[in-house]
Structure 1
Amino acid sequence: MNMLIFKRFSLTILILGTLVACKETNKNPQKKISETITSETQNDFLGNYVAKEYHQRTEGYDWISVAVRNKGDNTIGISVRSRADKKRPTCTFDSKAFKVNDSLYRACSNGVGILFSFKKDSLKILTEIPEQADALQFYCSGGGNFTGDYGRIEGELDSSQIDPTLFTKTLELQGIGFSVSSFARNNKKILQILPYGLEIDNSAITRTLEGSIADVEIEDLNSDGFPEILVYLSSDGSGSYGDVIGYSVNNGKSISAIYFPPISENDELKKGYMGHDEFSIIETTLAQRFPIYREGDTNANPTGGIRQIEYQLVDGEASRKFVIKNSTDFPEKN
């Protein structure tokens, strides 16, 4: 299997995961969206988009913005933020969205399909089923949501007004949920995990972050009837070295940290490793993927193919931990 096939295989898994998560609600998918599509590349869409009220912010108007960032092949990152200097932020939302066609991307959140339709310098957000738009009130205050039309602006958003939250995502499984967020405090990045639905201890977990949150996933990885929450990290800088912070639910009562072994501890698997990790859950397995570098390769041009490592969650002596189930090296693209 060459790298191109592997990338397509990985993308298929990611998209299928998104589709399955929303399948139970996708009975009347939105029609005619594709009729408005134009042929553009993913990079054409990157940037900051704002509601029309943004241009009246000096007059005291509230506003919502959408930052669109590259998250890999056929994947973009969506960050919805709003004004936070006068009042509580109107809407706060983070997600990955996956390519449907040249100008349409799709995300899934708590069973709701969300569509991001791009035209030149404009973005339209709507739910796949129109009647589900109210479900996005979960991410907003005052009964609103972030569907609607946005225009792209040059440069950065107004830092004196914008919500300083760096990342936020809420996930729930088997009646237990986690609100995961990060924010800046005293020149440090802080991770906060707020569990809910536990019988005994729902205390917040707060710790300093090295790097940024790339994504968060939830799954019952050991099939004990209770979920695990995994926070994927990416270091700052060109290396984008990955790490995983995980917590496992103990019989529905409390949570404990999961140990994730760093690549540096494995003499064989660390050969050719220079970061650029991607993580995803495939059924009940955690998969880590990264490019393999040969001697002389530059950071931007690895030529050794792709390494995929699969981890299984097991009970350790002191706590649960990830152990390597298998690993596979896929050759470079021909």
Structure 2
Amino acid sequence: MGLLLAGLISCNQQSGKETTSTTSTYDLADSNMSQSVEPTQAVNGNYVSEGYQNRSKGYDWVGISVETTTDSTISVYVHSRTDVKKPTCTLDPTPAKRVKANVYQALLQEKPVLFTFSDTSVTISPLNQQDEGILHYYCSGGATLAGSYHKTSDQIK
């Protein structure tokens, strides 16, 4: 009877570990990360919203600065227009970890957010659609960090 009880407790403890480890991380097989990661393009640089091209006409704009901190992590900094009014969106430097080639994940307000890079842009999106509201938290006036930003050679800091 004691062995049966010990076996049941052991099974319950194992299944509890499985459910908590997959709730807030990118859904990739751990073996992909440990064996080999595809080469990653250079993600360092500055990325801007569409309004940046018309900034001289007073349009709002948002800029994203990205710096590599290690082989598998980056630091993401969000800033925006500050010349006439308070900034639209801001985010202090935030670490993000590579989860697969050209995709990085950060935790914002305990929610996973993805930064997906291409040769010319970065797209910011929540891992889970129901968490999209978290990307409004860092902006004012109903704006959101969600969306695509195009790479620029301008210094935007």
Q: TM-score, normalised by structure 1?
A: 0.36
**Counterpart position of 1:71:** 69
Higher relative contact order (CA 8 A, sep 6+): 2
Conserved? CA contact 2:89–2:140, under 8 Å: yes
Conserved? CA contact 1:30–1:129, under 8 Å: no
Q: Post-superposition, which runs of at least 4 consecutive aligned residues in structure 1 deviate over 6 A?
A: none
Q: CA RMSD in A?
A: 2.4
CA distance in 1: counterparts of 2:27 and 2:53, whole angstroms: 30
**Counterpart position of 2:123:** 124
Conserved? CA contact 1:137–1:145, under 8 Å: yes
CA distance in 2: counterparts of 1:122 and 1:150, whole angstroms: 5
Q: How does 1:155-234 map to 2 (within 5 A)?
A: 155-157=154-156
**Counterpart position of 1:230:** none
CA distance in 2: counterparts of 1:88 and 1:101, whole angstroms: 36
Structure 2 gap ranges (5+): 1-19, 29-37
Structure 1 gap ranges (5+): 1-18, 32-38, 160-334
CA distance in 2: counterparts of 1:62 and 1:47, whole angstroms: 20
Identity of aligned residues (%): 33
**Counterpart position of 2:43:** 45
Which structure has more strand as a fraction of its residues? Answer: 1
Secondary structure of 2:135's counterpart equals helix
Secondary structure of 1:133's counterpart equals helix
Offset from partner CA, 1:35-91 (integer Å, 9 cap, x none): xxxx5435x111000011101111110000100001112000000110011111011
**Counterpart position of 1:253:** none
Say whether 1:137 aligns with 2:111. no
**Counterpart position of 1:85:** 83
Offset from partner CA, 1:78-134 (integer Å, 9 cap, x none): 001100111110111131000111110000122211000011111111000112111
Q: How many residues align?
A: 128
CA distance in 2: counterparts of 1:30 and 1:60, whole angstroms: 41
Q: 1:55 aligns with which of 47, 53, 56?
A: 53
CA distance in 1: counterparts of 2:39 and 2:153, whole angstroms: 19
Say whether 1:99 aligns with 2:119. no
The alpha-carbon deviation at position 30 of structure 1 amounts to: 8.1
